[in-house]
Structure 1
Amino acid sequence: MTDEIELTPEPKILIESLRDIGYSFESALADVIDNSITANASTINIMALPVNDSFKVAILDDGNGLDRESLLRAMRLGSSNPRDERAIGDLGRFGLGLKTASFSQCRRLTVVSRRDGQTSAFTWDLDTVVRENSWSVLERTDYNEIFGYDTLPENGTLVLWEKVDRLTGGNGSGRVDYDRVISEAQDHLSLVFHRFLSKEKGTPNLNISFNGCGLEPLDPFNMSNDATQASPEEIVCTGVTLRSFTLPHISTYADKAAYERYGLRGGYLRNQGVYLYRAKRLIIFGTWFGLAKKTALTQLTRVKIDIGTDQDETWKIDVKKVSAQMPEIVRKRVKTLIQAIGAPSRKVYSRRGARLTSPDVYPIWTRSENGEKTTYGINMEHPLVRAFGNELDDSLRNRFNSLMAFIGSMLPTEALFYDISNNADAVESQRLSHDDFATNARTFYAAIMQFKDEEGAIESMRSIEPYRSRWNETLSALGIEEL
């Protein structure tokens, strides 16, 4: 015989544990916005402001709003069954997001909702829950005392965070770099909801403002840039579509700031990989799901995968919607595609590398392969090196050749690999001074004039580095005016 014994969770213990699920400030905001989108909001206003020596966050929408009973039910932890079938645009799942996201940032959550002229409001105060050890919410009627209430639309909802201790300390008045926090949150929301903000076909018409600043969409694939390479969209399996992109190289941008903007926070190397969208809302990005390593050669590669809300169970979407497991059928397909997916990005960088070692461009470095080994060395047949060696007597020439061989053997491969892997675009060669550049340009020109005519020598120099990128200096050093 067995007896059932009810073990009711201790409210004061469980409520504190629920705060540590792992939300960041920006991911918590995104989870609240999901509810607004599900409620058919077209305008969402976020206010995150220091008020009376404390920090308050208010999220207002013009969605459908809730009546009293619906709002009270929504305030319950676990207000919906994650196994229930979701509407196509329903971004919720567990019935926990609003509460756990808010609790992760604040100790006092108030939700005010208005529908058909009727207003209701309830407050979760975690200090009250802990003190009374009871799952009790406070019903509010003092609407005018609630921050942000005066801007609540005729139909809509206000979510208010107070006692924001995770940012500001225990009493909500600690010192915080608000500018950084708000800027990072704005960038995150511009990215996560970029398909809504850009009015993509099939998404609700959505506008989000943050402290009075309208958010612009941040498309991680930079599809408006003609230099972006995109593959055709393909169906990997039922309910899963995939499309790969290779972003433009830095050399195609006139403005470095624009290039860095699309690198996202952390840069291109960190943010390569899969961008997983659930109902067109970005939930996970910058990961290969263990299928490939992040390398400099594929740092311009990003892969868009779209799934619907009916895929939650298959992908094991978590409460925060920032973690998922790629189903085996998708892993197998993506694994076979991974090399092809990365090929355009490799080509962008390999093409640049080829210019350094092609025999048609007088490389200063040679590259040779012997089995599994690739060896680099100084090209003793380079016109500048050969011209200098020819001016030496036999003794000095031998010493010069030995010195060049020594320098060639000391190529800092480990340091180069480390630097390029971390940020390939930040690695560059030492720049020649104007005088050194002019001297070498004249010497190189004289060397190749021994087997080319003047026009051929000029055209050769126009196509190779370092002369190509400093062409006006090259012409000046040679005393040539280009018509």
Structure 2
Amino acid sequence: MDSNVIRLDPEPSILIESLRDIGYSFNSALADIVDNSISANASSIRILAIPSSEFKIGIIDDGEGLDRDDLKQAMRLGSNDPRQKRALNDLGRFGLGLKTASFSQCRRLTVISRRDDNVAAFTWDLDRVVAQNNWSVIEHTNPEDIPFFGELGESGTMVLWEKLDRLTGERGSGKVNHPRIISEAQDYLSLVFHRYLAGERGLNRISIQVNNLCLSPIDPFNTKHHASQSSPAEQICPGVTMQSFTLPHRSHYDSQQEYEYYGLNGGYLKSQGIYLYRAKRLILYGTWFGLAKKTALTQLTRVKIDVDVNQDEVWKIDVKKVSAQMPEGVRARVKSLITTIGTPSKKTYRRRATRLTSPDVFPAWDVVQDGEKRIYRINRKHPVIANLTNSLDPIDSKALDTTLSLIESSFPTESLFYDFANSEENVALPALQDEAFDDAAKTFFSSLKQAGRDDETILSIMHYAEPFQSRWQETLGALGIKEQ
């Protein structure tokens, strides 16, 4: 069979615009540049995002730097072979990240690097590529006039983004909320690189600054909290280890702000699941990979899976390093452990539910088991309710019982479940006003006193009963008692 080989080179002006739409977000693009700095053994990475009419971003590190030939190669699209075996600390893979991440945000990318007192600088200007329709970069022989050049140290690299049209619009016509963009980037980097920022064992500790603000690591497992629970780390297969964590319940935090901090941006329900790390850099999080549903009972469960850099192809980690697919061998093992993994989180909530409905603390609500159903009813034996019932004549007592039954039967179960599942921290019960609270405390105490309980026993019961437990000093004040 006769055949001809015809060369079809891609049109630079068309392909360069297509490369901009791989799917990077601003934060993931920024993280990809930080990856290069870490791979270059940088200990300090500074990000300067100057909110001006011509928004510019500079990422400067103190890494090993590149000479002219190496930098020229690094500016080439596809500068590395993804099939090559990677160094353990190499966060790159495709040789595309520097360029595609940058192109996704800006139309002008400049990289300056200093090594052994030699400085090299090259620029990709996409407008020039489109106009001339060829793959050519600009080499700077006198880079001193490039913005932020003076920030470069004795060795290291600076990546400069200019013409950030994806943020500012064409010709800077769009309005940019600089504080929001910068704040979200700080949170994202603090989470993605938290193990490097903390100087985890086996890693060189790095410092990341954004506009001179030093980032603190956001540990999604809250491992330093005394109420956090963790399982032993397990090697699932060569190059893959797993460890599960159960975060503390809200009651263990000193403030609502601290509790919400560890809920991350999506809250506890959405942030539960697997946290996948490649070379101890967070790739993606808050997913069960289709192995389980996200439920309110398992929302405190987070699972850390570490894979090494040679697992990329098996896990199908993409060029942006924000998505992956769990291989079947790992999937089978994790699926078999799902029930065990979520048990501590479920126990945390079930223990609290049991305590709040225990008859020993006279809950306002009873849970009655009726076959497979659990029915919630207002506790008629609660001292305050019983005291009111006993003070009424039979007709009014019956009317009260009818009223309570109406409240029980119209309880907004579906609405409460939906709100609780989506944002537990934003669900609240109305608080008793001061006068009503004092009356309830006095009535509760006197009712149990009339039933023959001694003072110490009654106070012990009230100390574990709501709403008195959470307002204990007010309870003592209402009863005229000073705590010793």
TM-score category of the 2 structures, normalised to the smaller one: over 0.9
Equivalents in 2 of 1:204, 1:472: separation in Å? 49
The answer to whether residue 456 in structure 2 is matched with residue 455 in structure 1 is: yes
1:233-272 equivalences under 5 Å are 233-272=233-272
CA-based RMSD of the aligned residues comes to 1.5
Q: Which residue of 2 aligns with 1:26?
A: 27
Q: Which residue of 1 aligns with 2:476?
A: 475
SS at 1:320 equivalent? coil
SS at 2:304 equivalent? strand
Q: Which residue of 2 aligns with 1:465?
A: 466
Q: Which residue of 2 aligns with 1:4?
A: 5
Return the offset for 1:403. Answer: 1.5
Q: Which residue of 2 aligns with 1:333?
A: 333
Cα deviations by residue, 1:204-252 (Å, 9 ceiling, x for unpaired): 2322221112222221111121121111111112111111111122222
Return the offset for 1:387. Answer: 2.0
The answer to whether residue 145 in structure 2 is matched with residue 137 in structure 1 is: no
SS at 2:403 equivalent? helix
Equivalents in 2 of 1:433, 1:136: separation in Å? 73
Equivalents in 2 of 1:404, 1:207: separation in Å? 60
Equivalents in 1 of 2:212, 2:459: separation in Å? 57
Q: 1:385 to 1:100 in 2, by over 3 A?
A: same
- Counterpart amino acid of 1:480? I
Structure 1, 294-303 or 21-30: larger mean CA deviation: 294-303
Q: Which residue of 2 aligns with 1:227?
A: 227
Return the offset for 1:257. Answer: 2.3
Return the offset for 1:399. Answer: 1.8
The answer to whether residue 41 in structure 2 is matched with residue 40 in structure 1 is: yes
The answer to whether residue 304 in structure 2 is matched with residue 304 in structure 1 is: yes
SS at 1:339 equivalent? helix
Q: Which runs of 5+ in 1 are unaligned?
A: none
Q: Which residue of 2 aligns with 1:321?
A: 321
Return the offset for 1:173. Answer: 5.6
Q: In the alignment, is the contact (CA less than 8 A) between 1:63 and 1:156 conserved in 2?
A: yes
Give runs of ≥4 in structure 1 deviating > 4 Å: none
SS at 1:54 equivalent? coil
Q: Which residue of 1 aligns with 2:18?
A: 17
Q: In the alignment, is the contact (CA less than 8 A) between 1:78 and 1:94 conserved in 2?
A: yes
Equivalents in 2 of 1:462, 1:116: separation in Å? 70
Equivalents in 1 of 2:116, 2:457: separation in Å? 81
Q: 1:83 to 1:437 in 2, by over 3 A?
A: same
Equivalents in 1 of 2:80, 2:479: separation in Å? 77
Q: Which residue of 2 aligns with 1:400?
A: 400
Cα deviations by residue, 1:30-64 (Å, 9 ceiling, x for unpaired): 1011111111112211111135x201111111212
- Counterpart amino acid of 2:241? T
Q: Which residue of 2 aligns with 1:218?
A: 218
Equivalents in 1 of 2:242, 2:120: separation in Å? 43
Q: Which residue of 1 aligns with 2:84?
A: 84
SS at 1:242 equivalent? strand
Q: 1:50 to 1:463 in 2, by over 3 A?
A: closer
Q: Which residue of 1 aligns with 2:371?
A: 371
Return the offset for 1:476. Answer: 2.4
Cα deviations by residue, 1:75-106 (Å, 9 ceiling, x for unpaired): 11111111111111111001100000000000
The answer to whether residue 425 in structure 2 is matched with residue 428 in structure 1 is: no
Cα deviations by residue, 1:381-403 (Å, 9 ceiling, x for unpaired): 22222221122222222222212
Return the offset for 1:160. Answer: 0.6
Equivalents in 1 of 2:403, 2:153: separation in Å? 78
Q: In the alignment, is the contact (CA less than 8 A) between 1:86 and 1:310 conserved in 2?
A: yes
SS at 2:430 equivalent? coil
Q: 1:280 to 1:398 in 2, by over 3 A?
A: same
Q: Which residue of 1 aligns with 2:385?
A: 385
Q: Which residue of 2 aligns with 1:353?
A: 353
The answer to whether residue 262 in structure 2 is matched with residue 282 in structure 1 is: no
SS at 1:470 equivalent? helix
Equivalents in 2 of 1:46, 1:456: separation in Å? 61
Q: In the alignment, is the contact (CA less than 8 A) between 1:296 and 1:423 conserved in 2?
A: no
Equivalents in 2 of 1:480, 1:258: separation in Å? 32
Q: Which residue of 1 aligns with 2:54?
A: 54
Q: In the alignment, is the contact (CA less than 8 A) between 1:55 and 1:173 conserved in 2?
A: no
Return the offset for 1:379. Answer: 1.8
Q: In the alignment, is the contact (CA less than 8 A) between 1:207 and 1:214 conserved in 2?
A: yes
1:168-207 equivalences under 5 Å are 168-172=168-172, 174-207=174-207
Structure 1, 92-101 or 371-380: larger mean CA deviation: 371-380
The answer to whether residue 418 in structure 2 is matched with residue 418 in structure 1 is: yes
Q: Which residue of 1 aligns with 2:64?
A: 64
Equivalents in 1 of 2:483, 2:380: separation in Å? 31
TM-score between the two structures when normalised by the length of structure 1:
0.96
- Counterpart amino acid of 2:333? R
Q: Which residue of 1 aligns with 2:293?
A: 293
